[in-house]
Amino acid sequence: MPVYLDHAATTPISGPALAALTSVISRSGNPSSLHGSGRRARATVEAARETIAKAAGAHPTEVIFTSGGTEADNLAVKGLFWSRRDAEPQRARILVSAVEHAAVQDTVEWLEKHEGAEAVWLPVDEDGTVSLDALQKELADGGADSIALLTCMWANNEVGTLQPIAEIVALADNYGIPVHSDAVQAFGSVPVNFKDSGLAAMSISAHKIGGAVGVGALLLGRAVKLTPVQHGGGQERSVRSGTLDTAGIAAFAAAAQDVTSNMAAESARIAGLRDSIIAAVREAVPEAVLRGVDPGKHPDKRLPGNAHFTFPGCEGDSLLFLLDMAGIESSTGSACTAGVPRPSHVLLAMGLDEETARGAQRFSLGHTSDQEDVDAFVKALPDAHARAKKAGMADHVSSIQTASTR
């Protein structure tokens, strides 16, 4: 079995979630149908809604089920933008952090291209933390009455930096600006409470916490107006039409209950493994640089399961490929287009140059991770790194692929 160090991409389904999924999926019934099977499916969905609401600190009516984090982000950003601009046409600006996941970043760029939005990208510091000064300045000087919404992720998927959501919401609140947060990486790993946060909307996803792929939710304040993205049967407060995935939702609830009931102990366990990985990388490759917040200094400002490094002189894809050949599954943390690696926009926003950013590698841990994983990683890293460095930055994949067939 390979050593899986890519839990931020997706984490294996948990025992309770699998049990819920398999028990519900064999039953038929559309939760919108009025007969017995429909009512039974509806009862399953509503019980799950309550469980998820409790786990996320929300009221059950605030849970809008979606097909995942991407859809929840699209619904929040487009829906808030459209409803605010329809009510007040001058509200065309969207304040958005420079380090968002593509589900938010590309949505904002789409709104710019097709809907006349204007994005204001909020800068981050070298650890990837959004600048509150820049936000304050933008709100005070930039004409707050032209702002439709603010969107800022709770935790970054590449470097694991936790954003100061409470401070951001407090600033935006002074100007009555609704805030959306993509909490897909944060929910289940660190304490997240929708009500206490003061957010207007918040995205979460099942497969990042041990549920099945293809289910998520947008938590949406009861008074918040949102224009729907998709139209149809009017399910989910008429905000998100489409037949609900009863089994996936039941599994999502089981996973949410599982991760939140034991979060403090499990996060501490995972953070311990993460710290071992950081120490091992620093020892084996002293020139490697930890990106994001140093958990030795600020343990509460980094996701417990995230370790992210840049390896000077290495192409991230090369290292990924060589580690994979040694049975270690990791990630560069950012997307590549048609096999061509692009430097991460997150690392560039943190001030790295393109070449340094291309040497990125993310190791992310989760509920199946253990000391044996760390030991296997520690054993495999020096050789994979030496070979990746030899391959260098040029023609990396083809040279390694040629080498591997010899």
Q: Which residues bind ligand PLP (CB under 6 A)?
A: 68-70, 73, 101, 103, 153, 157, 182, 184-185, 205, 207, 216
- Toward ligand PLP, which CB reaches closer, 178 or 211? 211
Distance CA 262, CA 304 (A): 14
User: What's the min distance (Å) between Cβ of 311 and ligand PLP?
Assistant: 22
User: What's the min distance (Å) between Cβ of 72 and ligand PLP?
Assistant: 8
Buried residues in 326-364 as b, exposed as e (16+ CB within 10 A): bebebbbbbeeeeeebebbbbbbbbebeeebbbbbbbbb
**Helix (H), strand (E) at residue 360:** strand 360-364
Tokens found for residue 147: 């702002």
User: What's the min distance (Å) between Cβ of 339 and ligand PLP?
Assistant: 19
User: What's the min distance (Å) between Cβ of 331 and ligand PLP?
Assistant: 10
Closest residue to ligand PLP in the complex (CB): 69
CA angle 88–223–92, rounded 5-degree value: 25
Residues 6+ positions from 385 with CB-CB distance below 8 Å: 284, 285, 311, 314, 319
Tokens found for residue 31: 């939760």
User: What's the min distance (Å) between Cβ of 350 and ligand PLP?
Assistant: 16
Distance CA 113, CA 90 (A): 17
In the chain, how many H helices and how many E strands?
A: 14, 14
Collapsed DSSP state (helix, strand, coil) of residue 399: helix
CB distance 302 to 309 below 8 Å:
no
- Toward ligand PLP, which CB reaches closer, 99 or 357? 99
Place of tokens 């709104």: 111
CB distance 180 to 76 below 8 Å:
yes
- Toward ligand PLP, which CB reaches closer, 107 or 257? 107
- Toward ligand PLP, which CB reaches closer, 102 or 325? 102
CA–centroid distance for 391 within its chain: 31
- Toward ligand PLP, which CB reaches closer, 72 or 288? 72
User: What's the min distance (Å) between Cβ of 112 and ligand PLP?
Assistant: 19
- Toward ligand PLP, which CB reaches closer, 276 or 364? 364
Distance CA 73, CA 319 (A): 31
- Toward ligand PLP, which CB reaches closer, 69 or 188? 69
User: What's the min distance (Å) between Cβ of 205 and ligand PLP?
Assistant: 3
Side-chain-side CA neighbours of 405 within 13 Å: the count stands at 5
| Residue 152 is among the residues annotated as catalytic for this protein | no
CB distance 257 to 24 below 8 Å:
no
Tokens found for residue 86: 């329809």
- Toward ligand PLP, which CB reaches closer, 139 or 182? 182
**Helix (H), strand (E) at residue 340:** strand 340-341
User: What's the min distance (Å) between Cβ of 247 and ligand PLP?
Assistant: 17
Residues 6+ positions from 132 with CB-CB distance below 8 Å: 164, 167, 168, 171
Q: Which member of 87, 336, 402, 404 is catalytic?
A: 336
Q: Cite the active site residues.
A: 336
